[in-house]
Chain A
Amino acid sequence: MSRPCATVPPGIYPPNDCPAYRSSAKRAPGEAAVRIPPGPGDISGPCFGAERLRAGATDLTVNSQGGVAQGQRIVVHGRVTDQAGRPERRALIEVWQANAAGRYLHGGDQHDAPLDPCFTGAGQALTDDDGAYRFITIEPGAYPWGNHPNAWRPRHIHFSLFGQAWASRLVTQMYFEGDPLLPFDPIYMSMPDRDVRERLVARFDLENSQPDFALAYRFDIVLRGPDETPLERQL
Protein backbone atom coordinates (compact mmCIF):
# COMPACT_ATOMS: atom_id res chain seq x y z
CA MET A 1 0.00 0.00 0.00
CA SER A 2 1.36 3.42 -0.81
CA ARG A 3 -1.31 5.67 0.62
CA PRO A 4 -2.27 6.46 4.17
CA CYS A 5 -5.26 4.66 5.64
CA ALA A 6 -8.53 6.49 5.93
CA THR A 7 -9.00 7.73 9.47
CA VAL A 8 -11.13 5.68 11.84
CA PRO A 9 -14.44 7.40 12.61
CA PRO A 10 -15.04 7.85 16.34
CA GLY A 11 -16.99 5.13 18.16
CA ILE A 12 -15.69 2.16 16.17
CA TYR A 13 -12.49 1.17 17.94
CA PRO A 14 -13.66 1.15 21.57
CA PRO A 15 -12.01 3.59 23.97
CA ASN A 16 -9.54 1.96 26.35
CA ASP A 17 -10.87 3.99 29.25
CA CYS A 18 -13.80 1.66 30.04
CA PRO A 19 -14.65 1.53 33.79
CA ALA A 20 -17.07 -1.39 33.33
CA TYR A 21 -14.14 -3.51 32.13
CA ARG A 22 -12.07 -3.71 35.30
CA SER A 23 -8.80 -4.78 33.70
CA SER A 24 -8.64 -1.46 31.89
CA ALA A 25 -8.34 0.57 35.12
CA LYS A 26 -4.54 0.43 35.44
CA ARG A 27 -3.76 -0.19 31.79
CA ALA A 28 -5.67 2.41 29.77
CA PRO A 29 -3.44 5.37 28.88
CA GLY A 30 -4.49 8.66 30.45
CA GLU A 31 -3.27 10.78 27.56
CA ALA A 32 -4.95 10.92 24.16
CA ALA A 33 -3.09 9.27 21.27
CA VAL A 34 -0.98 11.81 19.35
CA ARG A 35 -2.14 12.21 15.77
CA ILE A 36 0.79 12.02 13.35
CA PRO A 37 1.16 12.25 9.59
CA PRO A 38 1.36 8.62 8.38
CA GLY A 39 4.95 7.73 7.60
CA PRO A 40 6.52 5.06 5.39
CA GLY A 41 6.23 2.49 8.20
CA ASP A 42 2.51 3.13 8.67
CA ILE A 43 1.46 2.74 5.05
CA SER A 44 3.57 -0.38 4.48
CA GLY A 45 3.21 -3.53 6.53
CA PRO A 46 4.37 -7.06 7.22
CA CYS A 47 3.42 -9.65 4.64
CA PHE A 48 3.04 -13.33 5.45
CA GLY A 49 2.76 -16.22 3.10
CA ALA A 50 1.82 -19.87 3.21
CA GLU A 51 5.12 -20.65 4.97
CA ARG A 52 3.60 -19.13 8.10
CA LEU A 53 0.74 -21.66 8.21
CA ARG A 54 0.73 -24.96 10.06
CA ALA A 55 -0.59 -27.93 8.11
CA GLY A 56 -4.31 -28.41 8.65
CA ALA A 57 -4.63 -25.10 10.46
CA THR A 58 -8.06 -24.29 9.04
CA ASP A 59 -9.68 -27.35 10.65
CA LEU A 60 -9.65 -27.02 14.44
CA THR A 61 -11.81 -30.12 14.96
CA VAL A 62 -9.08 -32.63 14.16
CA ASN A 63 -5.82 -32.63 16.10
CA SER A 64 -2.43 -33.71 14.79
CA GLN A 65 -2.97 -37.29 16.00
CA GLY A 66 -6.32 -37.57 14.24
CA GLY A 67 -8.46 -37.23 17.37
CA VAL A 68 -11.80 -35.47 16.94
CA ALA A 69 -12.88 -32.57 19.16
CA GLN A 70 -16.02 -32.68 21.32
CA GLY A 71 -18.81 -30.23 20.60
CA GLN A 72 -21.12 -28.78 17.98
CA ARG A 73 -19.17 -28.70 14.71
CA ILE A 74 -19.47 -25.38 12.82
CA VAL A 75 -18.11 -23.73 9.67
CA VAL A 76 -17.00 -20.13 10.28
CA HIS A 77 -16.47 -18.25 7.05
CA GLY A 78 -16.63 -14.81 5.50
CA ARG A 79 -14.77 -12.18 3.50
CA VAL A 80 -12.11 -9.73 4.54
CA THR A 81 -12.30 -6.43 2.68
CA ASP A 82 -11.14 -2.86 3.11
CA GLN A 83 -13.50 0.06 3.66
CA ALA A 84 -13.98 0.44 -0.10
CA GLY A 85 -15.13 -3.18 -0.34
CA ARG A 86 -12.03 -4.45 -2.08
CA PRO A 87 -10.86 -7.92 -1.06
CA GLU A 88 -7.91 -8.23 1.30
CA ARG A 89 -5.95 -10.89 -0.55
CA ARG A 90 -3.67 -13.33 1.28
CA ALA A 91 -4.35 -11.64 4.59
CA LEU A 92 -3.13 -13.71 7.54
CA ILE A 93 -5.92 -14.64 9.96
CA GLU A 94 -5.13 -16.27 13.30
CA VAL A 95 -7.91 -17.51 15.60
CA TRP A 96 -8.06 -18.96 19.10
CA GLN A 97 -10.95 -19.99 21.29
CA ALA A 98 -12.20 -21.95 24.32
CA ASN A 99 -13.41 -25.52 23.88
CA ALA A 100 -17.04 -26.63 23.88
CA ALA A 101 -17.08 -26.59 27.70
CA GLY A 102 -15.76 -23.02 27.88
CA ARG A 103 -12.17 -23.86 28.82
CA TYR A 104 -8.98 -22.63 27.17
CA LEU A 105 -5.92 -24.81 26.73
CA HIS A 106 -3.88 -22.34 28.79
CA GLY A 107 -2.23 -22.57 32.19
CA GLY A 108 -3.86 -19.33 33.28
CA ASP A 109 -7.42 -20.58 32.75
CA GLN A 110 -8.73 -21.61 36.20
CA HIS A 111 -12.30 -22.38 35.11
CA ASP A 112 -13.44 -25.74 36.48
CA ALA A 113 -14.55 -27.18 33.16
CA PRO A 114 -12.99 -30.13 31.35
CA LEU A 115 -10.17 -29.82 28.83
CA ASP A 116 -10.62 -31.67 25.57
CA PRO A 117 -7.49 -33.66 24.66
CA CYS A 118 -8.48 -33.41 21.00
CA PHE A 119 -8.88 -29.62 20.86
CA THR A 120 -6.17 -26.96 21.04
CA GLY A 121 -8.39 -24.08 19.93
CA ALA A 122 -5.82 -22.56 17.54
CA GLY A 123 -6.28 -21.96 13.81
CA GLN A 124 -4.73 -20.02 10.94
CA ALA A 125 -5.74 -19.14 7.39
CA LEU A 126 -4.79 -16.91 4.48
CA THR A 127 -7.61 -15.26 2.58
CA ASP A 128 -7.99 -16.15 -1.10
CA ASP A 129 -8.09 -13.80 -4.11
CA ASP A 130 -11.64 -12.79 -3.21
CA GLY A 131 -10.71 -12.11 0.43
CA ALA A 132 -12.61 -15.22 1.54
CA TYR A 133 -11.63 -17.45 4.45
CA ARG A 134 -13.12 -20.58 6.00
CA PHE A 135 -12.50 -22.48 9.22
CA ILE A 136 -14.06 -25.65 10.58
CA THR A 137 -14.24 -25.62 14.36
CA ILE A 138 -16.57 -26.34 17.26
CA GLU A 139 -18.85 -23.84 18.92
CA PRO A 140 -17.00 -22.52 21.99
CA GLY A 141 -18.69 -22.55 25.39
CA ALA A 142 -19.40 -19.48 27.52
CA TYR A 143 -17.25 -19.18 30.64
CA PRO A 144 -17.21 -17.23 33.89
CA TRP A 145 -14.66 -14.52 34.61
CA GLY A 146 -13.89 -12.28 37.57
CA ASN A 147 -14.95 -8.90 36.21
CA HIS A 148 -18.07 -8.61 38.41
CA PRO A 149 -20.34 -11.01 40.35
CA ASN A 150 -21.67 -13.81 38.15
CA ALA A 151 -19.88 -12.42 35.08
CA TRP A 152 -19.85 -14.69 32.01
CA ARG A 153 -18.19 -14.08 28.67
CA PRO A 154 -20.53 -14.70 25.76
CA ARG A 155 -19.35 -17.40 23.35
CA HIS A 156 -16.66 -15.95 21.13
CA ILE A 157 -13.73 -16.68 18.84
CA HIS A 158 -10.66 -14.41 18.94
CA PHE A 159 -9.49 -13.13 15.52
CA SER A 160 -6.17 -11.51 14.62
CA LEU A 161 -5.70 -9.99 11.15
CA PHE A 162 -2.93 -8.35 9.17
CA GLY A 163 -4.15 -6.07 6.39
CA GLN A 164 -2.18 -4.19 3.76
CA ALA A 165 -0.62 -1.73 6.16
CA TRP A 166 0.73 -1.48 9.68
CA ALA A 167 -2.19 0.84 10.43
CA SER A 168 -4.65 -1.89 9.32
CA ARG A 169 -3.67 -4.30 12.11
CA LEU A 170 -6.71 -5.65 13.94
CA VAL A 171 -7.42 -7.99 16.85
CA THR A 172 -11.07 -8.58 17.59
CA GLN A 173 -13.63 -11.13 18.76
CA MET A 174 -16.43 -12.83 16.84
CA TYR A 175 -19.68 -13.41 18.73
CA PHE A 176 -22.70 -15.58 17.94
CA GLU A 177 -26.11 -14.36 16.82
CA GLY A 178 -28.71 -14.59 19.56
CA ASP A 179 -26.31 -15.12 22.47
CA PRO A 180 -28.28 -14.02 25.58
CA LEU A 181 -25.06 -12.99 27.37
CA LEU A 182 -24.16 -10.23 24.88
CA PRO A 183 -25.96 -7.31 26.59
CA PHE A 184 -24.32 -8.18 29.93
CA ASP A 185 -20.74 -8.28 28.61
CA PRO A 186 -18.73 -5.08 29.19
CA ILE A 187 -16.25 -5.99 26.44
CA TYR A 188 -18.98 -6.39 23.81
CA MET A 189 -20.85 -3.38 25.18
CA SER A 190 -17.71 -1.18 25.07
CA MET A 191 -18.91 0.20 21.73
CA PRO A 192 -21.83 2.51 22.48
CA ASP A 193 -23.48 2.18 19.07
CA ARG A 194 -25.56 -0.96 18.60
CA ASP A 195 -24.99 -1.01 14.83
CA VAL A 196 -21.24 -0.98 15.42
CA ARG A 197 -21.41 -3.77 18.03
CA GLU A 198 -23.42 -5.96 15.73
CA ARG A 199 -20.58 -5.96 13.19
CA LEU A 200 -18.93 -8.44 15.57
CA VAL A 201 -21.89 -10.82 15.62
CA ALA A 202 -21.63 -13.76 13.21
CA ARG A 203 -24.90 -14.64 11.48
CA PHE A 204 -26.31 -18.13 11.39
CA ASP A 205 -25.94 -19.26 7.78
CA LEU A 206 -28.15 -22.24 6.93
CA GLU A 207 -27.25 -22.01 3.25
CA ASN A 208 -23.58 -22.74 3.93
CA SER A 209 -24.18 -25.39 6.57
CA GLN A 210 -23.11 -28.87 5.52
CA PRO A 211 -25.87 -31.49 5.70
CA ASP A 212 -25.07 -34.29 8.15
CA PHE A 213 -21.81 -32.54 9.12
CA ALA A 214 -21.78 -28.94 10.40
CA LEU A 215 -23.80 -25.77 10.94
CA ALA A 216 -22.40 -22.52 9.54
CA TYR A 217 -21.86 -18.93 10.68
CA ARG A 218 -20.82 -16.01 8.51
CA PHE A 219 -18.46 -13.31 9.79
CA ASP A 220 -17.29 -10.60 7.37
CA ILE A 221 -14.43 -8.35 8.44
CA VAL A 222 -13.54 -4.84 7.26
CA LEU A 223 -10.01 -3.52 7.76
CA ARG A 224 -8.61 -0.03 7.34
CA GLY A 225 -7.56 0.44 3.72
CA PRO A 226 -6.11 3.24 1.63
CA ASP A 227 -7.91 6.53 1.62
CA GLU A 228 -8.83 6.90 -2.06
CA THR A 229 -11.40 8.74 -4.03
CA PRO A 230 -14.02 6.80 -6.03
CA LEU A 231 -12.37 7.91 -9.29
CA GLU A 232 -9.02 6.40 -8.37
CA ARG A 233 -10.75 3.23 -7.30
CA GLN A 234 -11.91 2.65 -10.89
CA LEU A 235 -8.39 2.63 -12.28
Chain B
Amino acid sequence: MSGLTPSQTVGPFFSIGLDWPQANQLTGDQLIGQPLVLTGQVLDGDGQPVPDALLEIWQADASGSYPRPGSAGFSGAGRCATDADGRYVFETLKPGGVTADDGIAHAPVINLVLFARGLLTHLYTRVYFSEETAANAVDPALGCVPEARRASLLAQREGDHYRFDIRLQGEAETVFFDV
Protein backbone atom coordinates (compact mmCIF):
# COMPACT_ATOMS: atom_id res chain seq x y z
CA MET B 1 0.00 0.00 0.00
CA SER B 2 1.28 3.43 -0.86
CA GLY B 3 0.22 6.60 0.87
CA LEU B 4 -2.45 8.59 -0.93
CA THR B 5 -1.36 11.99 -2.20
CA PRO B 6 -3.17 14.75 -0.30
CA SER B 7 -5.40 17.31 -1.97
CA GLN B 8 -4.67 21.07 -2.08
CA THR B 9 -6.73 24.02 -3.23
CA VAL B 10 -7.07 24.76 -6.95
CA GLY B 11 -6.34 28.42 -6.09
CA PRO B 12 -7.52 31.49 -8.00
CA PHE B 13 -5.49 31.10 -11.20
CA PHE B 14 -6.52 27.63 -12.42
CA SER B 15 -7.72 28.95 -15.77
CA ILE B 16 -4.06 29.00 -16.87
CA GLY B 17 -3.91 25.22 -16.82
CA LEU B 18 -7.50 24.00 -16.85
CA ASP B 19 -9.10 26.06 -19.60
CA TRP B 20 -10.51 23.79 -22.30
CA PRO B 21 -12.33 25.35 -25.23
CA GLN B 22 -16.06 24.50 -25.24
CA ALA B 23 -15.56 22.11 -22.34
CA ASN B 24 -19.04 22.96 -21.06
CA GLN B 25 -20.71 21.73 -24.28
CA LEU B 26 -21.32 17.99 -24.34
CA THR B 27 -23.87 18.09 -27.12
CA GLY B 28 -23.31 17.31 -30.79
CA ASP B 29 -25.26 16.73 -33.98
CA GLN B 30 -24.83 12.96 -33.87
CA LEU B 31 -25.99 12.49 -30.30
CA ILE B 32 -29.32 11.03 -29.27
CA GLY B 33 -31.25 12.38 -26.33
CA GLN B 34 -33.08 15.30 -24.83
CA PRO B 35 -30.90 18.44 -24.88
CA LEU B 36 -30.50 19.90 -21.43
CA VAL B 37 -29.12 23.24 -20.32
CA LEU B 38 -27.98 23.11 -16.72
CA THR B 39 -27.18 26.45 -15.13
CA GLY B 40 -26.94 28.06 -11.73
CA GLN B 41 -24.91 30.11 -9.33
CA VAL B 42 -22.28 29.15 -6.78
CA LEU B 43 -22.80 31.12 -3.56
CA ASP B 44 -20.70 31.49 -0.40
CA GLY B 45 -21.81 31.60 3.23
CA ASP B 46 -22.88 35.25 2.88
CA GLY B 47 -24.90 34.47 -0.24
CA GLN B 48 -22.28 36.23 -2.36
CA PRO B 49 -21.39 34.80 -5.79
CA VAL B 50 -18.21 32.73 -6.01
CA PRO B 51 -16.54 34.03 -9.19
CA ASP B 52 -13.56 31.65 -9.15
CA ALA B 53 -15.02 28.15 -8.84
CA LEU B 54 -14.40 25.31 -11.27
CA LEU B 55 -17.15 22.74 -11.86
CA GLU B 56 -16.80 19.40 -13.60
CA ILE B 57 -19.57 16.97 -14.47
CA TRP B 58 -19.73 13.26 -15.28
CA GLN B 59 -22.93 11.62 -16.41
CA ALA B 60 -24.52 8.73 -18.25
CA ASP B 61 -25.89 9.14 -21.76
CA ALA B 62 -29.60 9.29 -22.54
CA SER B 63 -29.88 5.50 -22.48
CA GLY B 64 -28.38 5.24 -19.01
CA SER B 65 -24.86 4.11 -19.90
CA TYR B 66 -21.68 5.76 -18.69
CA PRO B 67 -19.24 6.24 -21.59
CA ARG B 68 -16.44 3.69 -21.56
CA PRO B 69 -12.76 4.48 -22.20
CA GLY B 70 -12.07 4.72 -25.91
CA SER B 71 -15.72 4.86 -26.93
CA ALA B 72 -16.75 7.41 -29.52
CA GLY B 73 -19.74 9.70 -29.18
CA PHE B 74 -21.04 11.22 -25.98
CA SER B 75 -18.14 12.00 -23.62
CA GLY B 76 -20.22 12.40 -20.46
CA ALA B 77 -17.58 14.77 -19.09
CA GLY B 78 -17.62 18.56 -18.91
CA ARG B 79 -15.87 21.45 -17.23
CA CYS B 80 -16.96 25.05 -16.58
CA ALA B 81 -15.52 27.91 -14.54
CA THR B 82 -17.93 30.35 -12.90
CA ASP B 83 -18.15 33.90 -14.25
CA ALA B 84 -18.01 37.18 -12.30
CA ASP B 85 -21.57 36.52 -11.02
CA GLY B 86 -20.71 33.00 -9.88
CA ARG B 87 -22.71 31.52 -12.76
CA TYR B 88 -21.97 28.40 -14.74
CA VAL B 89 -23.72 26.67 -17.63
CA PHE B 90 -23.47 23.21 -19.18
CA GLU B 91 -25.12 22.24 -22.45
CA THR B 92 -25.62 18.52 -22.32
CA LEU B 93 -28.17 15.74 -22.67
CA LYS B 94 -30.50 14.57 -19.97
CA PRO B 95 -28.98 11.40 -18.51
CA GLY B 96 -31.00 8.22 -18.35
CA GLY B 97 -31.44 6.29 -15.13
CA VAL B 98 -28.79 3.61 -14.63
CA THR B 99 -29.35 0.06 -13.49
CA ALA B 100 -26.10 -1.07 -11.88
CA ASP B 101 -24.52 -4.51 -12.24
CA ASP B 102 -26.11 -5.50 -8.93
CA GLY B 103 -29.58 -4.69 -10.31
CA ILE B 104 -30.05 -1.57 -8.20
CA ALA B 105 -31.77 1.30 -10.04
CA HIS B 106 -30.22 4.75 -9.81
CA ALA B 107 -32.21 7.87 -10.64
CA PRO B 108 -31.06 10.07 -13.55
CA VAL B 109 -28.23 12.16 -12.16
CA ILE B 110 -25.37 14.44 -13.15
CA ASN B 111 -22.35 13.91 -10.90
CA LEU B 112 -20.66 17.21 -10.10
CA VAL B 113 -17.36 18.11 -8.45
CA LEU B 114 -16.48 21.63 -7.37
CA PHE B 115 -13.05 23.19 -6.85
CA ALA B 116 -12.36 26.72 -5.61
CA ARG B 117 -9.93 28.98 -3.86
CA GLY B 118 -10.68 28.47 -0.16
CA LEU B 119 -11.46 24.76 -0.58
CA LEU B 120 -8.51 22.56 0.34
CA THR B 121 -10.40 19.47 -0.82
CA HIS B 122 -12.89 19.35 -3.68
CA LEU B 123 -16.60 18.86 -3.04
CA TYR B 124 -18.71 16.16 -4.67
CA THR B 125 -22.41 16.70 -5.16
CA ARG B 126 -25.14 15.40 -7.48
CA VAL B 127 -27.76 17.03 -9.64
CA TYR B 128 -31.09 15.19 -9.55
CA PHE B 129 -34.20 16.23 -11.46
CA SER B 130 -37.31 17.42 -9.65
CA GLU B 131 -39.73 15.73 -12.05
CA GLU B 132 -38.20 12.28 -11.55
CA THR B 133 -40.29 11.69 -8.43
CA ALA B 134 -40.58 7.91 -8.67
CA ALA B 135 -36.92 7.26 -9.55
CA ASN B 136 -35.68 9.70 -6.91
CA ALA B 137 -37.79 8.00 -4.24
CA VAL B 138 -35.80 4.75 -4.54
CA ASP B 139 -32.35 6.19 -5.37
CA PRO B 140 -29.83 4.68 -2.92
CA ALA B 141 -27.75 7.85 -2.53
CA LEU B 142 -30.72 10.20 -2.07
CA GLY B 143 -31.95 7.75 0.54
CA CYS B 144 -28.85 8.51 2.64
CA VAL B 145 -29.70 12.24 2.73
CA PRO B 146 -31.93 13.58 5.50
CA GLU B 147 -35.29 14.41 3.90
CA ALA B 148 -35.13 18.08 4.88
CA ARG B 149 -31.91 18.55 2.88
CA ARG B 150 -32.87 16.68 -0.31
CA ALA B 151 -34.31 19.77 -2.01
CA SER B 152 -30.76 21.14 -2.35
CA LEU B 153 -30.01 18.30 -4.79
CA LEU B 154 -32.98 18.84 -7.12
CA ALA B 155 -32.53 20.85 -10.31
CA GLN B 156 -35.69 22.83 -11.05
CA ARG B 157 -37.03 23.35 -14.53
CA GLU B 158 -37.23 27.06 -15.45
CA GLY B 159 -38.38 27.65 -19.03
CA ASP B 160 -35.82 26.12 -21.38
CA HIS B 161 -33.22 25.24 -18.74
CA TYR B 162 -32.71 23.55 -15.40
CA ARG B 163 -31.47 25.63 -12.49
CA PHE B 164 -29.14 24.17 -9.87
CA ASP B 165 -27.56 26.61 -7.42
CA ILE B 166 -24.76 25.48 -5.12
CA ARG B 167 -24.65 26.99 -1.64
CA LEU B 168 -21.30 26.22 -0.06
CA GLN B 169 -22.27 27.17 3.47
CA GLY B 170 -25.12 28.33 5.69
CA GLU B 171 -28.87 28.11 5.32
CA ALA B 172 -29.99 25.68 2.62
CA GLU B 173 -26.39 24.50 2.23
CA THR B 174 -26.02 22.07 -0.65
CA VAL B 175 -25.49 18.45 0.33
CA PHE B 176 -21.99 17.24 -0.46
CA PHE B 177 -21.02 13.59 -0.64
CA ASP B 178 -18.25 11.32 0.53
CA VAL B 179 -18.05 8.98 -2.47
Contacts and interface: CB of A to CB of B under 8 A. Distances in A.
Interface of A: 2, 5, 8-9, 12-16, 18, 21, 23-31, 33-42, 44-49, 52, 81, 83-85, 94-96, 104-106, 108-109, 120-124, 158, 160, 166-167, 169-173, 187-188, 190-191, 195-197, 199-200, 221-224
Interface string B47-71: 0101010001011100000111110
20 contacts: A13-B121, A21-B120, A25-B118, A26-B46, A29-B169, A36-B179, A37-B141, A46-B58, A47-B67, A81-B2, A94-B18, A109-B13, A158-B10, A158-B14, A170-B5, A171-B122, A188-B8, A222-B4, A223-B4, A223-B5
Contacts of B70: 47, 49
B140 A39 contact: yes
Interface stretch (B33-41, B109-117, B129-137, B156-164): B109-117
A38 B179 contact: yes
A14 B7 contact: yes
A29 B123 contact: yes
Q: Output the residue of B20, B168, B169 with the most chain A CB within 10 A.
A: B169
Query: What is the predominant secondary structure among interface residues of chain B facing chain A?
Result: loop
A160 B17 contact: yes
B28 interface: no
B120 A18 contact: yes
A187 B179 contact: no
B41 to A, nearest CB: 14
Contact of B111 (A30, A52, A108, A166): A166
Contact of A108 (B13, B67, B115, B176): B13
Given A109-B13, A158-B10, A31 B100 contact: no
Q: How large is the interface on B (under 10, 10 to 19, 20 to 34, 35 or more residues)?
A: 35 or more
B16 A14 contact: no
Given A48-B77, A106-B15, 15 more contacts: A14-B120, A16-B118, A27-B50, A33-B123, A34-B175, A36-B177, A40-B98, A41-B98, A41-B106, A94-B17, A95-B17, A104-B13, A109-B13, A121-B16, A200-B5
